[in-house]
């Protein structure tokens, strides 16, 4: 979570939306976000777990580097249906 916040603030400062980013962080902090996240079953996976999960559903998967988003510690995967 600290890495996500740091990445958000770094990008907000660079691209001129720091006040909006700070307001969004405050809104998230006082919201039931963590509870809701657990209730609806959102999860995080390691690289190996994601590749295994995709393989279990018939995909050959590799991690794409760098991540496509603005948060470098997150992961992007490319899954191709296995033949």
Where residue 46 falls (left for φ over 0; alpha for ψ -120 to 50; beta otherwise) is beta
- Give per-residue pLDDT as tens, 5-21: 999 999 999 999 999 99
Confidence of residue 1 (pLDDT cuts 50, 70, 90): confident
Domain ranges in the chain? 1-43, 44-83
- Give per-residue pLDDT as tens, 20-53: 999 999 999 999 988 898 899 888 899 999 999 9
Q: Which residues of 59-68 are buried (b: 16+ CB within 10 A; e: fewer)?
A: bebeeeeeee
Q: Is pTM beyond 0.85 here?
A: no
Contact between residue 15 and residue 8 where contact means Cβ atoms under 8 Å apart: no
Which pLDDT value is given to residue 33? 87
Token pair of 21, please? 């980013």
Contact between residue 13 and residue 33 where contact means Cβ atoms under 8 Å apart: no
Please check the confidence at residue 63 and state whether its pLDDT lies above 90.
yes
């Amino acid at each position: 979570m600290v890495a996500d916040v740091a990445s958000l603030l770094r990008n907000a400062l660079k691209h001129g939306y720091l006040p909006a980013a700070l307001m969004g962080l405050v809104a998230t902090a006082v919201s039931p976000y963590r509870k809701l996240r657990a209730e609806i079953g959102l999860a995080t996976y390691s690289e190996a777990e994601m590749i295994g999960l995709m393989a279990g559903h018939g995909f050959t998967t590799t991690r794409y580097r760098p991540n496509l988003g603005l948060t470098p510690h997150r992961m992007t995967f490319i899954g191709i249906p296995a033949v």
